[in-house]
Amino acid sequence: MDALTIGQLGRATDTKIETIRYYEKIGLLPAPRRTAGNYRSYAAEHLQRLGFIRRTRDLGFTIEQVRELLKLAAHGEKPCEEVDQLVVRHLEVTERKIAALTRLRRELRETLDSCQGGRIAECRVIQALSPPTAARKKRVLGSRT
Amino acid sequence: MDALTIGQLGRATDTKIETIRYYEKIGLLPAPRRTAGNYRSYAAEHLQRLGFIRRTRDLGFTIEQVRELLKLAAHGEKPCEEVDQLVVRHLEVTERKIAALTRLRRELRETLDSCQGGRIAECRVIQALSPPTAARKKRVLGSRT
DNA sequence: TCTTGACCCTGTAGCGACTACAGGGTCCTA
DNA sequence: TAGGACCCTGTAGTCGCTACAGGGTCAAGA
Ligand SMILES: [Zn+2]
Ligand SMILES: [Zn+2]
Ligand SMILES: [Zn+2]
Ligand SMILES: [Zn+2]
């Protein structure tokens, strides 16, 4: 008997109950049948599907990408190119995020290095956080492209 | 004369007009005086302050942190410890994000490496995206902690 | 039998940080 | 006087949940 309540399914997949109901509402997880008392009753397919959803979400795919992956997984006879493409694109996005955050980290470290203690008025950290404005003003008053 | 329209201020700080109005609504940027035709008219302080806001936002600080930094910057006589602490904490958050994304990248690469082309039904990528469910079922049916 | 408490239901509103309209008004130039 | 670029307010949408409020259901214990 593989009938799970929503709470059991949540514990099984490390998912909050509200999240499961949310996935149902947006059509990501199919609505299960109901008991006499109107409780949701999940079967093995739901467990499998929600597991897939959680895993891919944890890997950072968007809901729309998860939807795509689920659709592809259901068409086992097609070549796996599309699947791999999706993963490749997400890998690229992830790499760009890492690069951006790494630049950020460097800037924050440099900012901190500039502080030698003292009063805020003289602190180079605050100065480093203020962008140079002189050059900008000129640009503005000039063209309006 | 340093009176800027909202459009000029936006170009000067690379900020969308809607965002400037949003910052005003949430009390991050003070409301400027108005012209006879009810247009916002910004002065040099606004340019300076919005510049600071954008720079700190670009560095990934939250709006609440920006608020804090602005408050601190206005109290130049205090020691700069609090400022530096804020930056340190944000640096730590940034480092944790980088670590998490790096783990993600490794998982995505490993997943992709497993694919050798073929049909989706046999593709290891899809399998790698499906979590093992057998162990989980047992846990669930057991305790309900 | 009654009550407690754990669980479940629906529906709505909130988060952060914007962004995108809709439906107007103003200003400058030709 | 007309056009177009600019500005105004207000509201709703984005993403992916999360947190209630105000109920109903169910099983075990006194
Ligand atoms: Zn098919
Ligand atoms: Zn300092
Ligand atoms: Zn002070
Ligand atoms: Zn493949």
Q: In this structure, what CATH number is given to the domain that contains residue A43?
A: 1.10.1660.10
The SS3 of residue A42 is: strand
**For residue A117, is it within any domain?**
yes
Same domain, A53 and A88: no
Same domain, A94 and A56: no
Of B76, B119, B140, the CB nearest to A76: B119
**For residue B84, is it within any domain?**
yes
**Which nucleotides in chain C lie closer than 7 A to a protein CB?**
6-11, 16-21, 25-27
**For residue A11, is it within any domain?**
yes
Same domain, B42 and B97: no
**For residue A73, is it within any domain?**
no
Is the Cβ pair A54, B131 closer than 8 Å? Answer: yes
Same domain, B2 and B55: yes
> A25 lies in which domain range?
1-61
**For residue A47, is it within any domain?**
yes
| Count of domains observed in chain A | 2
**Above 90 in pLDDT, residue B128?**
no
* Residue range B60-86, pLDDT digits in tens: 999 999 999 999 999 999 999 999 999
* Residue range A10-21, pLDDT digits in tens: 999 999 999 999
Q: What is the pLDDT of residue B67?
A: 96
**For residue B143, is it within any domain?**
no
**For residue A35, is it within any domain?**
yes
- ∠ Cα B106 A62 A95 (to 5°): 35
**For residue B8, is it within any domain?**
yes
Same domain, A7 and A34: yes
> Distance between CA A94 and CA B61 in Å, rounded?
20
Measured CA distances, B141 to A5, A7, A9, B65, B138 (Å):
11, 11, 10, 45, 5
Residue with CA nearest C1' of nucleotide C19: B18
State the pTM of this model.
Answer: 0.87
Same domain, A19 and A51: yes
Same domain, B96 and B47: no
Residue of B nearest to A118 (CA): B79
Same domain, B47 and B96: no
Protein CA B50 to sugar C1' D3 (Å): 33
